[in-house]
Amino acid sequence: MERGPEAKIDLEALRHNLRTVESLSGGSVIAVVKADAYGHGAVEVSKTLERQGAFALAVAYASEAEELRAAGIKSPVLVLFDGEPGPFFDLDLIPVVHSLKSAKRFSREARRRGRQLDVHVKVDTGMGRMGFCISGEGKDTLADICDIASLPGLRLRGLMSHFSEVQPGKGGLDFARLQLERFNSIRQQLAGRGIKPLAHISSSASSLLLPEAGMDALRVGLLLYGALPFSAPAAPASFALKPVMEVKTRIILVKRFGKGQPVSYDRTFVTARRSTIAVIPVGYADGYLRAFSNRACAIVRGRRAPVAGRVCMDVTMLDVTGIRDVSEGDEVILLGGGLSIRELADWAATNPYEVMTSLGGRARRRFE
């Protein structure tokens, strides 16, 4: 018996989603494949996106790009978090530079190797994470970025920022608009000095809700994998994404209980009637979140079966009472087949990103 979930990754759906996102941007999509392509498998996903003509790929760390280059992927790879310069030259990667100090290190290494390196610079317009802080009127930031533009061995090819909050509904875009204003102000000041790098700030949510932030490229992950970043159907009707990941497992044991039988740790579930309980070989060690306990459903023989009791480390119990002919070996759908990533995220009070990376991250994958 093989443990754990099996994920089917639909590469045709991925291609469809890339085309759909490209229709928003007029072409340029930096496809974000960090965290093993959000649990979908970065190598296969990147090969598919490359063949489909994606403008560029993006990962979080240089170590993630190593795997892509080793698999023969030639696309430009933007690395969102810079680091030791060496690998960027060895693997021909584009760092996003977050400080003048880091830029100088890249410049020194470029000179040492007699090379030129394309870099993008990130400005922190309000995310409070990485990048050059906008202090006062952004004057320090501006001076630093101008310095970078003139460092030997570096070519300042991109300027980027990242939104911290993009939500549908009243007030949901207020802070993003302020961030956009700050970003545009820096852009204009740089342009005034003849520095005009490629500008990108928008990821999935803002691609849909704040089209005026589109600029030269969209930096998109979630939409490519077929999910929306928010609950409300705020996307235009024509914007039909296809889910890329489906996750399945099989029943390993079926038990019949009388009324009053507790199920799993802490007795949080007690049968209210004669019940049939199915055990599946998937637990939180497989990325099936413990927060699904007594909340999520799976699909067994075409019907919804609720999770009964706590999700354990290696197994989970489903209440299949009333579903006919359930037996060991039956297929169980954990995600897909009518169970959307949004439902799973809501059940665990989390976002689709966490569900994808946890569940897909540890599944055995099949690409179709």
- The residue nearest ligand PLP at its CB is 221
> DSSP letter at 264?
S
Q: Residue 162 CB, nearest distance to ligand PLP (Å)?
A: 4
What is the Cα–Cα distance from 261 to 182, expressed in whole angstroms?
Answer: 60
Q: Residue 353 CB, nearest distance to ligand PLP (Å)?
A: 7
Cα separations in angstroms, 203 against 24, 246, 360: 12, 24, 21
- List, in sequence order, every beta strand (DSSP E) within 64-146: 77-79, 94-97, 117-124, 132-133
104 is catalytic: no
38 is catalytic: no
Q: Residue 117 CB, nearest distance to ligand PLP (Å)?
A: 20
Q: Which residue has the tokens 């044991």?
A: 253
Q: Is residue 201 at the binding interface for ligand PLP, with CB under 6 A as the rule?
A: no
Choose which of 5, 221, 287, 336 interacts with ligand PLP (CB under 6 A).
221
DSSP 159-177: EE---S---SSTTTTHHHH
Q: x/- contact string, 14-53, with ligand PLP (CB under 6 A)?
A: ------------------x-x-------------------
What is the Cα–Cα distance from 61 to 93, expressed in whole angstroms?
Answer: 10
Q: Which of 101, 248, 265, 288 is catalytic?
A: 265
Dihedral sign for Cα 38, 42, 44, 45, please: positive
Q: Residue 57 CB, nearest distance to ligand PLP (Å)?
A: 12
- Toward ligand PLP, which CB reaches closer, 109 or 118? 118
Taking contact as CB under 6 A, which single stretch among the options 14-22, 43-51, 62-70, 221-229 is the one that binds ligand PLP? 221-229
* Residue (of 103, 193, 122) closest to 162 by Cα position: 122
Q: Residue 76 CB, nearest distance to ligand PLP (Å)?
A: 15
Q: Is residue 95 at the binding interface for ligand PLP, with CB under 6 A as the rule?
A: no
What is the Cα–Cα distance from 174 to 184, expressed in whole angstroms?
Answer: 15
* Residue (of 207, 200, 201) closest to 228 by Cα position: 207
- Toward ligand PLP, which CB reaches closer, 18 or 222? 222
Q: x/- contact string, 63-92, with ligand PLP (CB under 6 A)?
A: -----------------x------------
- Toward ligand PLP, which CB reaches closer, 81 or 265? 81
Taking contact as CB under 6 A, which single stretch among the options 66-74, 214-222, 280-288, 310-318 is the one that binds ligand PLP? 214-222
- Please, which of residues 132-191 interact with ligand PLP by CB under 6 A? 162
Count of CB atoms within 10 A of residue 226's CB?
Answer: 23
What is the Cα–Cα distance from 249 to 267, expressed in whole angstroms?
Answer: 25
Choose which of 20, 46, 204, 293 interacts with ligand PLP (CB under 6 A).
204
Angle at 258 between CA 257 and CA 263, to 5 degrees: 50
Positions marked active-site: 34, 265
**Residues interacting with ligand PLP, by CB under 6 A?**
32, 34, 80, 162, 203-204, 219-222, 229
